[in-house]
């Protein structure tokens, strides 16, 4: 299936609504092993994304991803703002001038986004971060899995952060006290992938 900017905009609008619906959950997760601002940070950023999309409609996937990336960097704050911002900026670069993304193109953009997150945050799978949800999801897509399967892989990846000690971000200051808690950023990454599956 080919995704043009309009379809990707639908993904971003759905993600904004999903973040709002899960704001309290993300806040609670971050209150347990961070500073309790992850839900509010993301809600602020994605509300701004929606406002910008009300005012202008990017014509290409690259333009959309760039708008989202810049907005998240400007409005989310914390560790997650620059990381999710980088995700979308790198996805936008990978989109090039294409008017629409086929399946392979979408996977290329998402993989470029993840590579950007890893480079910026210096995190690898197993560090108890958003990388733990994004990596299995994008791997699933890369090996021909559906978006629904990618969503389930992200969910499983996030769940698997619970027994880990965090090696990056604020939760790393807690040492073993982070054990037993799911990572908030991994959880918001599940929402990112699931909302893509819902948008189609």
Positions touching Mg ion (CB under 5 A) are 30, 34-35, 37-38
CB 147 within 8 Å of CB 169: no
Q: Which residues bind ligand ADP (CB under 6 A)?
A: 30, 34-35, 37-38, 41, 78-80, 83, 117, 121-123, 129-131, 168-170, 183-186
194 neighbors 152 (Cβ within 8 angstroms): no
At closest approach, how far in Å is the CB of 73 from Mg ion?
16
Contact partner at residue 194 from Mg ion, ligand ADP, none, CB < 5 to 8 Å by partner kind: none
Q: CA–CA separation, 30 vs 186, rounded Å?
A: 11
For ligand ADP, the closer of residues 123 and 140 by Cβ is 123
Q: Hey, is 125 helix, strand or coil? A: coil
Whether the Cβ atoms of residue 95 and residue 62 lie closer than 8 Å to each other: yes
Considering the complex, what minimum distance in angstroms separates the CB of residue 20 from ligand ADP?
15
Minimum Å distance from CB 193 to ligand ADP?
14
**Residue 169's binding partner, choosing from Mg ion, ligand ADP, none, with beta-carbon cut-off 5 to 8 A by kind?**
ligand ADP
Closer Cβ to Mg ion, 53 or 133, answer by number? 133
Output the smallest distance, CB 41 to ligand ADP, in A: 4
Nearest residue (CB) to Mg ion, 180 versus 200:
180
Reference 110, options 53, 65, 155, 63; nearest CA is 65
Quickly list H helices, the chain. 5-21, 23-33, 38-55, 61-75, 80-95, 103-121, 131-142, 147-159, 184-199
Given a contact cutoff of 8 angstroms between Cβ atoms, the answer to whether 6 and 61 are in contact is no
Name the residue nearer to ligand ADP (CB basis): 7 or 115: 115
Give the shortest CB-8-to-ligand ADP separation in angstroms: 23
Q: Which does 85 bind (CB under 5 to 8 A by kind): ligand ADP, Mg ion, none?
A: none
- Residue from 45, 50, 49, 8 nearest 23 by CA: 45
If the CB atoms of residues 183 and 194 are measured against ligand ADP, the closer one turns out to be 183
**CB nearer ligand ADP, residue 159 or residue 170:** 170
CB of 132 to ligand ADP, least distance (A): 8
Residue partners of 143: CB distance under 8 A and separation at least 6: none
173, two tokens = 């200051």
């Amino acid at each position: 299936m080919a995704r043009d900017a309009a379809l990707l905009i639908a993904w971003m609008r759905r993600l904004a609504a999903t973040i709002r619906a899960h704001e309290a959950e993300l806040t609670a997760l971050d209150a347990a092993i961070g500073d309790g601002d992850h839900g509010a940070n993301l809600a602020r950023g994605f509300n701004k994304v929606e406002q910008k999309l009300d005012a202008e409609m990017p014509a290409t996937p690259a333009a959309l991803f760039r708008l989202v990336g810049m907005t998240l960097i400007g409005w989310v704050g914390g560790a997650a703002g620059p990381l999710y911002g980088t995700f979308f900026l790198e996805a936008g670069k990978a989109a090039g001038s294409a008017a629409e993304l086929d399946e392979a193109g979408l996977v290329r953009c998402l993989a470029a986004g993840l590579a950007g997150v890893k480079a910026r945050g210096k995190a690898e799978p197993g560090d108890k971060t958003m990388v733990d949800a994004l990596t299995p999801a994008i791997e699933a897509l890369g090996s021909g899995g559906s978006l629904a399967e990618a969503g389930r892989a992200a969910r499983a990846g996030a769940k698997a952060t619970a027994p880990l000690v965090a090696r990056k971000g604020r939760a790393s200051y807690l040492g073993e006290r982070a054990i037993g808690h799911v990572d908030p950023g991994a959880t918001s990454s599940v929402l990112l992938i699931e909302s893509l599956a819902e948008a189609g």
